[in-house]
Each structure stands twice: as structure tokens, then as C-alpha cells.
Structure 1
Amino acid sequence: MDSTTRAVVDTVDVDRSDHDYRDWLKEAVRKVQADAQRSADTHLLSFPLPERWGIDLYLKDESTHPTGSLKHRLARSLFLYGLCNGWIRPGKPVIEASSGSTAVSEAYFAKLIGVPFIAVMPRTTSREKCRLIEFHGGQCHFVDDPRKMYEESLALAGESGGHYMDQFTYAERATDWRGNNNIAESIYQQLRLERYPEPAWVVATAGTGGTSATIARYVHYMQYDTRVCVADPENSCFFDGWVHHDAQACSESGSRIEGIGRPRMEPSFVPGAIDRMMKVPDAASVAAVRALERVIGRKAGGSTGTGLWSALKIVAEMVAQGRTGSVVTLLCDPGDRYLDKYYSDAWLEEQGLDIEPHTKAIDIFLATGHWPDQRPDQRPD
């Protein structure tokens, strides 16, 4: 067939755009971004240490977000990620596997854009977190075995036609770790006028692993000398998986420290990015969070205690080695969510936790600068 007789072939064109949906999407993204514009940055609190030590300890207070926790940043990023990928649709529920704080924050953003929200969570989740999820319009769906949260969430999404947010997979990729006012960039900006503006250590805890990945990647990207330590509670596999380079590491029971610790190595946990891990007894986490209240008058959740315990041991190491500098850890959420747990002596007795030896260790350290049984040249565990 020559050019004079060749048939005209129409362009193949498949247009799946829906103008109503695109209008809804633009408005939903605008609302989520507007939330960030309305929110001021969180404070960097100073934990008082003796001046002669030459070491400054700070807590990044994430409890001042609109939903009261570090997870507000993550939930905002996950919603933007899900919306921009076309996964979150009008009228369809968002489902999340969460031990509490992420679900509170995601319930807030779901209500903001007008979609239903279902939190799949362990039956042991604190009553206050459940109340907050429901306050923001979400539903609580309980499981007896924390290891079943993933498959139950996926099944609910399939049955409802909704979207399983899956924070444990997408936390590390939904956050812009190069900057854009993420938590790491915020910490360094707030330290600019301090005597040690580049911290020697940043201590984080891991639930999804997204926060430690964001901080560690930002440190490497900006070519800082800061080291990143992740503190892991009992009944969590992250420490063993990191030490033994075992991506299949697992734990048979759920963590008592809500929000951190996982029974499996989560996809968002990036072991190669961090420098150090510490395994922290749950009793030590509770002792540390109660010590925080005594020292600065603030109640915080158990995950804050896990990080603070490790930060104090790192400070003890620096004192023993005659080093100066700054250390930063996180105040993840407020303690009023856990009055029936970490601030309840009855709960401690029920769990068989004795915090007295750990309380004594902290008190001795803060008074003398030496961790009990620590020689001047000995690194704390």
C-alpha cells in the first residue's frame, strides 16, 4: 500500500481520568498540605546536665503536634503518598495496622479529607489511644495476636475496597529524607546556635523504622559526623536482626512499649543506615520516663523512656572518655495516654517489672557522672 492509498489509523487513546475524582484529589492534597502550613515546628527541650561535663542533652518534643505524637509527621507523609499514588479514593476506607499513635494521627487526616478510617490494633492498646482514634472519627478493630495485624488489615481492605496504608512498608519511602523540614533537618536547624550544633549522637526508637531511616539518611546526605543509635525494647526483633544481619529475625510476643518494637523485621527498618543499637529492658524504659518527669516535669510515653535510657548511657560513655558534645533523643508522645500503664504501680506489678534498680542507676549517674559499675575506660552496653 503506497502513500496515496494507505488507510488512516486512528491514535489509540485510553483516558481514565475522572474530573470529579481529580477535583476531590486536589482538594484532599491541599487540605493535608495546609495542615503542615498551620503547624509550627516542635520544640527542642534541654535535659539539664552538670555544666562541668561539657555535654548537652536534648529531647525533640514531638508531643506538641496536633495529634500529640511523632506519628503526625508520618501520617501526613503517608496520606500524601497514598493520595498522589491514586491509592486513597473518595468514600473508601483507609485501614492501618497500628499499636496506637499512628492510628490516632491517621484518623485525624482521614477525617480531614472525609474518608472512613479503621485501625487494626492489639487488644492491649491503651484505652486513651482508642478513645482518641474514635474522637477523630476512626474505628478500632482489635486482634489478640499482634502478628496477625498485617493480614487482618489486608483482608479488611480487600473486603471494603479500601486502601491498606501499611506504614511498616511505606514509612521510609513516604518521607522526604533529603530535607523539606523533616525531623532531621528540623533538629539541625534548631541546634544552629547551640554550643555543639552538630550532635555527636542522635538516639531514635523504631516501630516502623521510618524515623531512624530518615535521620540516618539525612546525616549521610549532609555529610555530618553524627552517629545514629536505635534503642530497642524487649519482645522486639530489630536488635537481633541488626546484630546478626538476619532479615528473617522474629519475636514470639508483642512489645509492652507501645509504638516501638516489632515481632518481625519491617521493610521500613533500614539496618545499614544506622551505627549502633541498644537492647533496653522494659523496666529501664519505665524508670527513665519517670525520671524525665522528675527532672523536667513532663510525662511522656514509654518509647521516650527507651530512647532516653540509651541517650543517658551514651552520655555516660562520653563522660567516661572525657568527650564533649551534644546528644539528641525524642519525646515521642505524651504520658497521659499511658496513665494506666507506665505510670501505674499496679500495672508494673502485674507485668512483673521492677524499676527500682534502673531508677537507682539513673539517680547515681545524674549525681556522679558515672554509670554504676562503669570504669572510666569502659563503654556502657
Structure 2
Amino acid sequence: MDTRSGWADEAVRLLEADANRSADTHLHVFPLPPEWGIDLYLKDESVHPTGSLKHRLARSLILYGLVNGRIGRDTTLIEASSGSTAVSEAYFARMLGLEFVTVVPRSTSTEKIELIEYYGGRCHYVDHPPEMYSEAERLAAECGGHYLDQFTYAERATDWRGNNNIAESVFQQLALERFPVPSWIVVGAGTGGTSATFGRYVRYRRHSTRVAVVDPENSAFYGGWETGAADYGTGMPSRIEGIGRPRMEPSFIPSVIDHMIRVPDAASIAAIRMLRERSRHWAGGSTGTNLCGAFELIAGMLERGERGSVVTLICDGGERYEKTYYDDAWVAEHGLDPAPHRERIEGFLATGTW
């Protein structure tokens, strides 16, 4: 494969041009009582061309494959993903004129399949989610393609020292704020790439910022972090799309994380509904998980008499979840009751107590 060709040079240019157009996203202020002396910011990743935080990851994974000589003009790109990563990878594959195939569980929602296919991707189905990994490897070997493997390479494909990664972007945008170095950054983990980027960046820049990872029900990350077991698993899928995994993924690096918080799924749903009513930001479930973690940390800061700032993410837009997290019938069918969590959130916003 001639990866030092003019085609490869042009492919890198196209990826960098997309980054130049779209990488810096808005940093919104979430209104908290001014007397608290704490500022909460939401980094809005839903405004990327493919509508989610995974736009950054997909670009990084493909760029990583290019510069490592694994992708050429005729390479088929293979992934194991039924969600936003596959949507974004399909977008970039089409940009480069490459075929893209993602291995997905047969239970994947029609909405996600339609988005992947909209960008020219093709879905290859498996009956059981754990089969995704081995089937993606098999397909790549069979067609001589490149397995992008987000769950292994997410933590290394992004340059954590800079290159306009999400951490560098946040700190640049905070430069003129009253607390330019945040006390906490709160993120979820799907692959672990975002938490690794933030955790490494704050250490590299010698910031005092701590990184907290929020984890939904059924996910293995919290248990693996708490016990130190690299093979920790639950075998159960997360109901909060985009975060949580049934096993500890290779790209999740516990040693760069300062704290983890487990968040009930119903609380995540309550939080995004509150966000839409109070700010008009329409976000997916993982954003609600982030908000619950941020609220808990802010309550602790208030209890200790601390001032400062906290940053978390709007991971994707709520329009993808109109028929799930925003649908009362779907929520009830899945045995979720956001009401008590909504009461707790409203109580926190009024009193500062979590």
C-alpha cells in the first residue's frame, strides 16, 4: 500500500480542513445562583457537522490510520459501533471516497441505522453485541481493510498535548473567565478517549484541575476503576447511549482519573429534561449523566466553602432521542421514573444541597 502518495497527503489535508472549520465548539454558561461563587460551563459538542462529540474521535481515528500507513485510497474502513462514532466515521469515509462498514447489533435503532446510511456507510449485523469486536476483525482481514477499533485506539489517536483537542479548546475558552482553571472537568466514558485526553492534558499543563468520570447503570467502568480489575465486566448494555460499556475497554485509562460517580439512568433523563426547560438546549442522555455528576461535585464545593468553575459536555443533540428519553411511554416501558430525580435536581438548584 502506497501511503506516501499524493492521495494520502490530500486525505490528511481534507481531515485537517474539517477540523479547522468545526473543531472549536461553544462553551455555554449554565445559570447558577450568583451568590454561590461557582460557574458551570457546558461545552457544546452537538454543533459538530455530524452532531456529536464523536466527530472529534472519528477524525482522530482515521487520521491515526493514515499517518501510521494503514489507510490507502482503496482501503475499506471497518468499525464496531452502532452509535455516534459510526455516524461520524461514515461522514469522513465519504469525504475521502472510502467504503465504510460498521458491525452493529441487530437491535440497533432505525434512527441510528438511517444516519449511518445517510453518510454512505453500510451496516453488518450480529445477533449478540459481544460478537461485534471479533466480527469487525474478521471483516477487516477478509477484505484487506482497516479496523478503526475505537475501543482500543481512542486514548492514543488524539494528541493529548494539544493540536486543538477538546481539552486545549476548553482551557483557551476559559482564559478570560473569573476562574480560568476549572476545579473539575466532568465527562462520561464510552471508549475512555475523552477522559484520557483531559486527564493527560491537565497533568501535562500542570493544572490543579481534577477529572471526574460519570458512569451509568450496567456499565463496567466504575466497578473496574473501584476494584482495579482490568477484566471487570457486567455483560449488560447501557441504556444511556454513547457511554457505559459491559466490559472494561482497552482505551479506558483509570490512572488519569481522579474521581468516579455512578449515576442512575432515570436521573440522567430527569437532568436533560430540566436542561431543555431551563436553557433550551436539547441534549442526549449522556449529557444528563454529566450534569448529575457536576451538580454533585458543586454541592461538595459549596459545603466546603470553595469557589471556582466546573466544566462538562453537551455530548450530542436531543433530536436523536425524541422517541426514547423524551417520550414518557418509552421511559415508563423501560421501568424508569425520573420524577424523584427531578425533584432532587430542582432542590439542588434552589439550595445547593445534593
TM-score by length of 1: 0.90
CA contact (8 A) 2:235 2:247 kept: no
CA contact (8 A) 1:285 1:309 kept: yes
In 2, the alpha carbon distance for the partners of 1:58 and 1:147 equals 36
Superimposed CA distance per residue, residues 53-95 of structure 1 (whole angstroms, 9 cap, x where no aligned partner): 1110011000111111111111111111101112123233211
Moved more, 127-136 or 178-187: 127-136
CA contact (8 A) 1:125 1:258 kept: no
CA contact (8 A) 1:126 1:337 kept: no
> Aligned partner of 2:24: which letter?
D
1:124-273 equivalence runs, <5 A: 124-273=107-256
Moved more, 282-291 or 34-43: 34-43
CA contact (8 A) 1:99 1:259 kept: no
Q: Please state whether the residue corresponding to 2:72 is helix, strand or coil.
A: coil
Q: Counterpart of 1:38?
A: 21
Match of 1:61 among 44, 56, 60: 44
> Aligned partner of 1:267: which letter?
P
Superimposed CA distance per residue, residues 250-289 of structure 1 (whole angstroms, 9 cap, x where no aligned partner): 1121111111111111111110011000111111111111
> Aligned partner of 1:144: which letter?
D
Q: Counterpart of 2:270?
A: 287
Q: Please state whether the residue corresponding to 1:45 is helix, strand or coil.
A: strand
Q: Counterpart of 2:317?
A: 334
Structure 1 residue 18: Cα displacement: 4.3
Residues 40 and 276 of structure 1: CA distance in aligned 2, closer, same or farther (over 3 Å): closer
In 1, the alpha carbon distance for the partners of 2:315 and 2:268 equals 13
CA contact (8 A) 2:23 2:56 kept: no
Identity %: 63
Structure 1 residue 129: Cα displacement: 2.2
CA contact (8 A) 1:341 1:348 kept: yes
In 1, the alpha carbon distance for the partners of 2:328 and 2:192 equals 30
Q: Please state whether the residue corresponding to 2:5 is helix, strand or coil.
A: helix
Structure 1 residue 34: Cα displacement: 1.5
In 1, the alpha carbon distance for the partners of 2:175 and 2:9 equals 36
Q: Please state whether the residue corresponding to 1:169 is helix, strand or coil.
A: helix
1:302-317 equivalence runs, <5 A: 302-317=285-300
Q: Please state whether the residue corresponding to 1:257 is helix, strand or coil.
A: coil
CA contact (8 A) 1:126 1:338 kept: no
Moved more, 102-111 or 120-129: 120-129
Structure 1 residue 302: Cα displacement: 0.8
Moved more, 120-129 or 110-119: 120-129
Q: Counterpart of 1:375?
A: none
Q: Counterpart of 1:319?
A: 302
In 2, the alpha carbon distance for the partners of 1:51 and 1:168 equals 41
TM-score by length of 2: 0.97
Q: Counterpart of 1:75?
A: 58
In 1, the alpha carbon distance for the partners of 2:294 and 2:264 equals 14
Uncovered stretches (5+) of structure 1, i.e. residues with no partner:
1-16, 372-381
Q: Counterpart of 1:10?
A: none
Structure 1 residue 201: Cα displacement: 0.2
In 2, the alpha carbon distance for the partners of 1:27 and 1:62 equals 26
Structure 1 residue 40: Cα displacement: 5.3
Structure 1 residue 124: Cα displacement: 3.8
1:43-54 equivalence runs, <5 A: 43-54=26-37
Match of 2:104 among 121, 129, 132: 121
In 2, the alpha carbon distance for the partners of 1:303 and 1:49 equals 21
CA contact (8 A) 1:94 1:116 kept: yes
In 2, the alpha carbon distance for the partners of 1:185 and 1:231 equals 21
In 1, the alpha carbon distance for the partners of 2:194 and 2:109 equals 22
Residues 50 and 280 of structure 1: CA distance in aligned 2, closer, same or farther (over 3 Å): same
> Aligned partner of 2:87: which letter?
V
Moved more, 229-238 or 21-30: 21-30
1:94 aligns to 2:77 (yes or no):
yes
In 1, the alpha carbon distance for the partners of 2:326 and 2:36 equals 31
CA contact (8 A) 1:169 1:267 kept: yes
In 2, the alpha carbon distance for the partners of 1:157 and 1:367 equals 54
Superimposed CA distance per residue, residues 32-55 of structure 1 (whole angstroms, 9 cap, x where no aligned partner): 111112225100011100001111
Superimposed CA distance per residue, residues 108-149 of structure 1 (whole angstroms, 9 cap, x where no aligned partner): 000000011112123343332222111110012233322221
